[in-house]
Structures are given as structure tokens and as C-alpha cells.
Structure 1
Amino acid sequence: MTDLAHAPTPDAAALKTNLRTRLGDGLPPPSTLVGGVILLFWIVCAVFGHLFVPFDPYAEDFLAMLAPPDATHWFGTDTLGRDILSRIVVGSRDILLVAPLATLAGVTAGSFIGLVLGYFDGWVDAIGARLLDALMAFPFIVLVTMTLVALGPSNLTVVLVIGIAYAPLVARTVRTAVRQERERDYVSAARLAGESPIGIMLFEILPNVRETILVELITRLATPSSPSPR
């Protein structure tokens, strides 16, 4: 009799189950939490890494070249005797700075080129597509060498090189998406309404290919890139 008196009603039990479900759905998945912790760790290294690195990341020690990991050098040393752990921690600043800027530059330039080539047909698309093919066929190491000779080693050089390398890849993808969109009825209606080609590209087609551009942005951002040479 006592158990029946204290037993929750069906409505109360359903309410508790619903509450647990809602709370569980509101929590991010474990992979998101782990990824967030890793990202936070590298952000802290990028901002405050110079305060707690065990060694000068640029100091060369020819007596400790290619040393294996030990209690002194946790990650060992490189061919010049520099502490690898210190270089990783300090180098994360360049990675977190260069990678987003280079990706944004490449995706922005590639999206603009893809919009123009995808919207305009004829000689504009033919010449532009051939130029993209030629740029993609150009050896990347030669492009890097030429840019380093012209501008010198710096973060700006790395951003320009990676941006130039990414732009043709993004442009080809965006061009294909734009060519599909330009045949749709809303584009024809915009032409009949007297809207300019720039207005159609920016205000009609671009919002409808933003998912493609976003995928390219995330994909290129996740592609490994090297920090600036020191």
C-alpha cells in the first residue's frame, strides 16, 4: 500500500523521462567536447606559449642534433638541435594565424572567379577555364620558390602562396555550381526584371551556392599548411 502511495503517476514519470531526454539532447556529443578541448589547448599555446616553453625554439645546439625524446627534450630535437616541443608550441601561433587567413583569401578569390566564369558563357568562360587549368598544372614548389624570392619568407608570403594555390580549386567547384543555378527560373526572372549581371551574381546566385562555398572553406581550412619559414 505504501509503495502504491509513493509511486509516481504515469504523467509524472513521462515528464521526468521527457526532461532527461531534453537535457541529454542539449549536451554536445563527446567528439565535439574533445575537439573543443584540443582547439582550446592550441589557442592557449598560441597566445601564451612563449611564457612556458622549456627552450628557445630558435636556439641551435649542434651537440644535441636529432636527440631522441627524453626527460630534457620531451619530443626530441631536430637536425639543428632545436627543441621540437618548444617549436611546436610557439609555431602554433603561426598556424592559427596563417591557416584561416590563407583559406579565407583563397576561398574569397576562388568564389569570385567561379561566379564570373560560371555566369558568363562564351569566350570569358573558355579563357578563364584554360587559365585555371594552367595555374593548377603549375608546380606548387616552383610557385613557392618564386614567391619566396620575390617577397621573402614571411607570414604574408605563406598566405599569398596558399591563397593562390587554393583559388583555382575553389573556382572550379563554384563555377560548376553557378552554371547549374544560372539556368533556373529565378535567374531568368531577374534578367527579365532588368537586374544587372553583378546584381544577379551577388544577390541571386551567390546565396544559393553558399553551402558549396562553406564546404570548400571548411575543407581547405582543414588541409595542413606550413608555418612561415624561420
Structure 2
Amino acid sequence: MWQGRTEAYAGSFARLCAHPVGALLDAAGVGEGTRVLDVGTGTGTASVAARERGARVSAVDADAGMVAAARARGLDARTGVLPELPYRDGEFDAVVGNFVLNHVGRPRAALAELHRLLRPGGRIALTTWSARRGAGQDLLGRACEAGGAVPPAYLPRLDPAQDWARTEDGLAELLGGAGFIEAEAAELTWEHRAGVEEWWSAAVGGVATIGLIVTSQAPETVVRIRREYERLSAEHTVAEGQLALPHIALLGSGQRA
């Protein structure tokens, strides 16, 4: 779902997803000299922040375009797909994944792989979207519904047997089930500021699930979605062409025994 969408992501949702990076690195204990793996690095935002702390950073992503973008920032980035990554047992002091768990088809197997990559005592920290959503998260989805969009049959869907509760307790239990000790999770809330056109560019650029929905519609439906988006955006407008979009996510962390 990310193939060919690196530029569209970088120009829209990348800033949104950058918000929790500081807390993510803190939860993983990333600092000077830490050997850290950034899983699902995207354009490399968390990796760059870890490097600025003096960490020794490796990055991996399933999409070759994202890997190329990360390498362009001077990062040691490789292509790899969970739950099988090209690294040695116990190679890292810390593993971080910023909004990657929500794109993994086998989350328990993915966490078992990340557990393998950590040394004893190493820490993991992950962000993912919560079942409890901020009003800003639903703006594009509401516009699609009001515009008569029909989600395509090929949308990626998690097997119910692989699903887990998108709550603080649910994420902590998922980490604990993968063998991490002192597993815990907390809710993060923030107000993302974005331009009206910037936020719309994610949808028409095919970014994430909402982008797949919008780009699968007939042109006349996209026109209706855009019209509804402009109408609903008024609820979040704070200045000419600028939106304030409340978001909610989860931050989970744990340690390898």
C-alpha cells in the first residue's frame, strides 16, 4: 500500500507521525552510543532524531522508496519485511517502531522478531493508533462517507485471529505476550496543525487506508468528497487555510529479560 507514495507521505502525514518521536525514543532509552533499530522508518524521522542523540542507528522499511528517502538523509537503511528482518540475534540495545505495528499483518510474530533482535535488558518502544480517536483523525473519513465513497474490496484487513485491543491495556498485553517484561502503554494526545491542501494531499496521493479509498473512486465521487471535505474542514479551521486536528495514539514499551 506504500509503493510509489513516499513523496505524498513526506508532504502530508510525515509531520503528523513525527509528533511522538521524542517520547518514543525516551521510552526506548535511546541516547549516546545506543545501538538502535528503527523499524518501519518511513522517510527516517525517528532515525534522524536518534542520530541527533548520538545513537548508532540502523533503519529498515518494507518499501524501497521509503528506504531510498532514508538513505538520502545519510541513514543506514535496508529493505526488510516483518516478521523476518536481516539482523542478528541480540544486535540492538533498543528497537523503536513509529506507527508500524498498525501496518503489520501478524503483530505477534512481528513482536517476537523484535524481541529476538534485542540484547538482554534491551528496550522496545512502539506507537500505534488507538481505538479512541481524536476528531481530527476522522475528518477525511467523514468526507468520504458524506461524499458517497465505497471502500474497495482490496483494502488491507487484519485477520480477526491476529487482532488485538487498541487500548493501553491491549497494547501492554500484546507486548507482554511477546515476552517483554515491565510492559506498559499510555495514551498520547496532540493537536496537529496542517494546511487544508496539505491534509487533502494525503488522500489524493493515495497515502494510507484513506488514500486507497479516495483514489479508488470515480472522478465524480472524488469531486463530492472534496466538496464535503471543504465543508467539514470548517469545524477545525483556526486560520485561513489552516486546520487544528486532534489526534490520539498509543505508546507502548517493554524490556527483554
TM-score by length of 2: 0.21
Pick the structure with more strand per residue.
2
When normalised by structure 1's length, the TM-score is: 0.23
